[in-house]
């Protein structure tokens, strides 16, 4: 079987890596891919949002399945174009992808179908939004309504920072923001494949680390690391999330005439002292870096599952998944997320331990063929093991020794046993 992976980040490297080990897969192409992906697949210089060229490539090369990694091509309608041309593709169409591309659509869906979510309002006018800050009171949560690469959320107690966020996010398309009630709690990331209007496979549940610095301080990022299993994620919580959020969301999308087909990612917040989950956001694809944690746990059957979901099967074969722990540590460029540097030489030595893998995200080759930094999140170090602590220890053991670049920034507390509580910025005077 021939596969085309659309995208160029750590998520796409992880998908390529896992599918390259699948016995059903003979050949993999990636568009545009990255230097890490190029070691195990054929990279083709087609941008992930150049839908017509991607469809032409899939037709010419008789691709058996296209797997879409990032959100932008989904929001632009890549699945709609491929389906019209009878090209098998894994991912939701443009209408269903609105659950990610429009936060107000997702929030409205939650409200109308009684999915638990923090109180929210939308604004297109800066002055009205600023007046609403008084009504909500700190801490404030301001979100860009459209796609923002995981960096469109500001959580702060500082009124001036809140007003700056309102101003900043209203500039993005569609020039609308969502203001949300702050819930003091802890987060968890759920990844479900969906076809035939129901959840098919629920992958291991991870906890994500969005803030840039240790102790959950600093600005939000696209994600600085994840781990599983999460001790506070009980079986009863998983069942509650499925019964109260995932299943109703899938049913609601079908009722709205936008049946979902692909990966539905859910980020919930659980209020401290309870097992009450609230929807923070939905994504219409694998999370990043969650995918980098999930893929090393998949032991087989991934292609068959993704292909069956793409065909809208009501009972696709499920992937074989390990019960091991998984920890992902993101290595970011100096200045990330506000002003990441680029062009720094990367040292990447062979790893002796086969339970550790480094996925490329923001990397490139310079004119001399040397590996250099080319984005905010540069590399993802993933380790698996019998426990979170052992996987965590292995992941951190190679950072700086086998993996290094000037200005390298990472959190040192991914997967630690500390109680997590968001450290909001102190009020400026």
What DSSP line would sit under 376-396, residue for residue? Answer: SEEEEEEEEESSHHHHHHHHH
CATH number for the region 119-180 comes to 3.30.1490.20
**pLDDT given for residue 125 in this prediction:** 82
Distance CA 348, CA 344 (A): 13
Alpha helix ranges (H) inside 113-246: 126-136, 159-171, 235-241
For the ranges 88-92, 181-185, 209-213, 419-423, the maximum mean pLDDT occurs at 88-92
CATH 3.90.600.10 for domain 325-404, yes or no, is yes
Its sign, for the CA torsion 291, 294, 299, 304, is negative
pTM beyond cutoff 0.85: yes
Q: How far is CA 186 from the centre of its chain?
A: 17
Nearest to 333 by CA among 363, 311, 307: 363
Task: Decide if pLDDT at 148 tops 70.
Answer: no
| Tens-place pLDDT, residues 331-377 | 999 999 999 999 999 999 999 889 999 999 999 999 999 999 999 99
Overall fold of domain 2-90: Rossmann fold (3.40.50)
Domain ranges of the chain: 2-90, 119-180, 184-321, 325-404
**Domain 184-321 sits in which CATH superfamily?**
ATP-grasp fold, B domain (3.30.470.20)
Task: Decide if pLDDT at 427 tops 50.
Answer: no
Count the neighbouring beta carbons within 10 Å of the beta carbon of residue 13: 34
Count the neighbouring beta carbons within 10 Å of the beta carbon of residue 80: 17
Tokens of 288: 């990043």
For the ranges 121-125, 221-225, 414-418, the maximum mean pLDDT occurs at 221-225
C-alpha angle 34/369/9, rounded to 5°? 15
Percent of the chain with pLDDT over 70: 96
CA of 20: how far to CAs of 69, 299, 302, in Å?
A: 16, 12, 10
Tokens of 95: 């209408």
């Amino acid at each position: 079987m021939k596969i085309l992976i659309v995208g160029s980040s750590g998520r796409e490297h992880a998908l390529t890596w896992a599918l390259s080990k699948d016995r059903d897969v003979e050949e993999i192409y990636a568009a545009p891919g990255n230097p890490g992906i190029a070691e195990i697949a054929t990279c083709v210089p087609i941008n992930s949002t150049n839908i017509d060229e991607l469809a032409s490539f899939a037709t010419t090369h008789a691709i058996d399945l296209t797997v879409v990694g990032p959100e932008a091509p989904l929001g632009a309608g890549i699945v709609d174009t491929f389906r019209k041309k009878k090209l098998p593709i894994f991912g939701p169409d443009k209408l269903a992808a609105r659950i990610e591309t429009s936060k107000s659509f997702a929030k409205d869906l939650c409200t109308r179908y009684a999915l638990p979510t923090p109180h929210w309002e939308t604004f297109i006018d800066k002055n009205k939004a600023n007046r609403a800050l008084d009504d909500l009171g700190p801490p404030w949560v301001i979100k860009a309504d459209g796609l923002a690469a995981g960096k469109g959320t500001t959580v702060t107690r500082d009124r001036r920072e809140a007003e700056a966020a309102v101003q900043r996010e209203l500039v993005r398309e569609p020039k609308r923001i969502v203001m949300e009630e702050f819930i003091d709690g802890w987060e968890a990331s759920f990844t479900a494949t969906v076809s035939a209007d129901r959840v098919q496979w629920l992958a291991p549940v991870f906890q994500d680390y969005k803030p840039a610095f240790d102790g959950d301080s600093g600005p939000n990022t696209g994600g600085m690391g994840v781990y599983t299993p999460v001790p506070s994620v009980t079986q009863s919580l998983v069942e509650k999330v499925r019964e109260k959020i995932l299943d109703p969301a899938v049913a609601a999308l079908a009722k709205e005439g936008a049946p979902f087909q692909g990966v539905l990612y859910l980020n919930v917040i659980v209020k401290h002292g309870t097992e009450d989950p609230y929807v923070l956001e939905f994504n219409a694809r694998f999370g990043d870096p969650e995918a980098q944690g999930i893929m090393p746990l998949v032991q087989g059957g991934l292609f068959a599952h993704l292909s069956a979901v793409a065909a809208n099967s009501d009972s696709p074969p499920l992937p074989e998944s390990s019960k091991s722990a998984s920890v992902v540590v993101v290595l970011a460029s100096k200045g990330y997320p506000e002003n990441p540097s680029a062009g720094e030489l990367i040292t990447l030595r062979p790893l002796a331990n086969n339970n550790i893998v480094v996925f490329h995200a923001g990397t490139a080759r310079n004119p001399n063929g040397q590996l250099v930094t080319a984005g905010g999140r540069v590399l993802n170090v993933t380790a698996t093991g019998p426990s979170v602590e052992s996987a965590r220890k292995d992941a951190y053991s190679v950072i700086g020794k086998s993996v290094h670049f000037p200005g390298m920034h990472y959190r040192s507390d991914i997967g630690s046993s500390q109680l997590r509580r968001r450290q909001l910025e102190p009020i400026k005077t």
